[in-house]
Structure 1
């Protein structure tokens, strides 16, 4: 069948009209809250091509589905709490999926979501393929990316944090204390946040006239084990760093363990700064200096976005970035030679 001879579905009409499926649904169901121009355009397409009403579907479940790349550490707890705050206000439940350290959802997960029909999906530090996103769109299941692992597609709303500014602030703090041999433990090369934090680190060094020593740039994975392994290599260098910027708090804890193994005191022998400001790091010994990423606020905002989309309401912004903030505690100080 060709488009000209076969009546169109809501998704096809929406694509031709350049509007959301929710808007077309309002038109075909005689609902208000659609501008007269948009309504006329959709009705003109229906007269031209026809409209094929799909079989009546079961209503969406009163659930917001969270999909995490990994359910480890404080990170998913903070995000889940932020989502739950908004979900409770709307009498929604929160469902959770774990991709087991993968950043892309598999087809089996997507098929399960299509069966469950949640009110919306929030993908955390992960994403969907273009085909999977199209599957959700056809079923009118809105998707929002939270702390996206890679650059979001043009039609996918997202919310993140000021990763570049955070990397800049962390490195500036160490420079202001007098450090010049400052190492960084990155996250995965594929992660948007990791690349931005590394760029902020490089910019701060460049602005201070300090050249980047590639031996001090260690690849990590955003997990404690990765931070431990990277710190062990860095701290065994002949001219070891006097400070390490671990690009998340988990890796910073790994640095603590590596320093303890080598008999180094924090911050007397080594300054350490993390990124995230998870609740547990203020109880580390010594309490961790870090960059606060407002994960709960990010999660609440993402939930509000997905619920607006579920109700067919337009978003004022499809890309939101919340500010990060330096939190100084006891894990950073001047290098030993300046003490």
Structure 2
């Protein structure tokens, strides 16, 4: 290979000369296009590494008709509230991990945009982003994923769309897990341990997956003949609101012996309230969480949880949107597996 040019001045032509190929062949390798012999591809990749060449995104966009951008839309209010309160947001962390790594493998970038959930405002903000960024695909996360107006806007702009944990929209890729099945399995785990007074700490009706989980809980209780012992309270996926609801629940004379909470933040609220009331977990109260973000492994005691494949779902959505942009066919619906991870917060109820 030839002499290495100065880093700031390295161009695609330098890579082509170093590898002994045409500029177009280098472009095909950079853009992950087919029809490049493996030995030639390896030579070009070696030249790119040696020269430390960084492809110019603007040039790629003009040359290939793509933006090489996937845009993920998330709930502005809830995300900012958690960040501003210092609670962080493990769901967003996992989303970024799954999406960014999947995009990186294809020479893409994932952008993350916080948008209000009000339908009119959401459409205006997303339309502005589409005009400015021209993404190759858009991912709608809850609760935007159930917004038919957003789906229609993307269809009008002919931009590929993927929804996460939502009912299927025509023309969109849907990536979900079996929400109702996961709730059924969590409930059956508690029923098998001997619990009959089980509370479901629900999230928000604005999120379609919340309704599916509640359906699964109620179905499992009915199948076992334990519906009379089922209780439903709402915590809105929020620590303080969940703590208030659970405090009232656990002070009642017929308090539950087990709780299923719809996210980890509400599960932590249950742990705090139980400790304040002198209830031991799991001796006095069993607890199962949804999500299984990394923090639950460090709770005391570690939480039994439904592991929601957040990173895998976002990664799958990115993979399919990139494939569609490249002309490939993609199925309409992808259902990823969940897992019930049994740790230290579930046990038989006291006799």
TM-score (norm 2): 0.74
1:190 corresponds to: 206
Pick the aligned partner of 1:261 from 271, 276, 289. 276
Q: Determine the C-alpha separation between the residues in 2 that align with 1:128 and 1:165.
A: 20
Shift of 1:129: 4.7
Q: Among residues 121, 127, 132, which one is paired with 2:145 in the alignment?
A: 127
SS in 2 for 1:166: helix
The answer to whether 1:177 aligns with 2:193 is: yes
Q: Structure 2 vs 1, CA of residues 297 and 181 (structure 1 numbering), >3 Å: closer, same or farther?
A: same
8 Å contact kept, 1:114–1:139: no
Once residues 139 and 90 of structure 1 are traced to their aligned partners in structure 2, the CA distance between those partners, rounded to angstroms, is 23
User: Is 1:111 matched up with 2:128?
Assistant: yes
Name stretches of at least 5 consecutive residues in structure 1 with no aligned partner. 1-56
* TM-fit CA distance, 1:235: 0.8
Q: Is the 8 A contact 1:105 1:128 kept in 2?
A: no
Structure 1 vs Structure 2 CA RMSD? 2.1
Partner of 2:11: none
Identify the residue that residue 277 of structure 1 maps to in structure 2: 292
Deviation by residue 1:41-93 (Cα, 9 ceiling, x = unmatched): xxxxxxxxxxxxxxxx9754322111112434211111111111111111212
Q: Give the direction of change, closer, same or farther, for the CA distance of 1:100–1:334 in structure 2 (3 Å limit).
A: farther
Query: Are the equivalent residues in 1 in contact too, given 2:141–2:163 (CA < 8 A)?
Result: yes
Alignment of 1:287-326 (within 5 A): 287-315=302-330, 317-326=331-340
Cα distance, 1:223 vs structure 2: 2.5
Q: Within 1, Cα distance between the matches of 2:91 and 2:256?
A: 28
Greater helix proportion: 2
Could you tell me whether the CA contact under 8 Å between 2:116 and 2:122 is conserved in 1? no
- Judge which range, 65-74 or 265-274, deviates more: 65-74
The residue that corresponds to 1:80 in the other structure is: 96
Task: Give ranges in structure 2 of 5+ residues lacking alignment.
Answer: 1-60, 83-88
Cα contact 1:147–1:160 (8 A) shared by 2: yes
For residues 166 and 101 of structure 1, the distance between their equivalents in structure 2, rounded to whole angstroms, comes to 26
Give the distance between the partners of 1:220 and 1:226, measured in 2 at CA.
5
Q: Deviations over 1:219-253 (max 9, x none)?
A: 22122233222211211212111110112222111
For 2:70, the equivalent position in structure 1 comes to 64
Secondary structure class of the residue paired with 1:217: strand
Q: Is 1:243 matched up with 2:258?
A: yes
Aligned to 1:37: none
Q: Is 1:168 the equivalent of 2:184?
A: yes
